[in-house]
Amino acid sequence: MKADYEEHDAILIARCMMQIKAKFDTDQGLNFIQQYCINQGLKKFGDNGEDAVDKELRQMLLRDCFTPKFVKDMTASEQKQAQSAMMLLAEKQFEKTIKGRTREWLS
């Protein structure tokens, strides 16, 4: 399908595309970070991955983000209200360190 644009529309679209490219373009081209679920990340990063998970969870505990509980100690209604989350691991490109991130799990 061919789209017909007026000259001023084409110029505006081209400028937008160039601004997007400039925002995300680096010396090495576009950069995307591969994130791994915790099981895959621990296999890939080993002890460094474990350290990243530990650091992320300690930070969340220090900031009172949640109170850990064993599922076996929770009532049925507490289990229904519990927030599901997942841990992701990624290698920071320039620092070559492993970073853990916890995200809300939406099913």
The two three-digit tokens of residue 33, written as one number:
């970070």
| pTM > 0.95 | no
- Sorted by where each begins, the domain ranges of the chain are 29-104
Contact criterion met (CB below 8 Å) for 67 and 44:
no
Residues 30-60 have pLDDT tens digits of: 566 788 999 999 999 999 999 999 999 999 8
Residues 58-102 have pLDDT tens digits of: 998 899 888 888 999 999 998 888 878 888 999 887 778 899 988
Element (H, E) at 105: none
Contact criterion met (CB below 8 Å) for 60 and 66:
yes
Contact criterion met (CB below 8 Å) for 87 and 39:
no
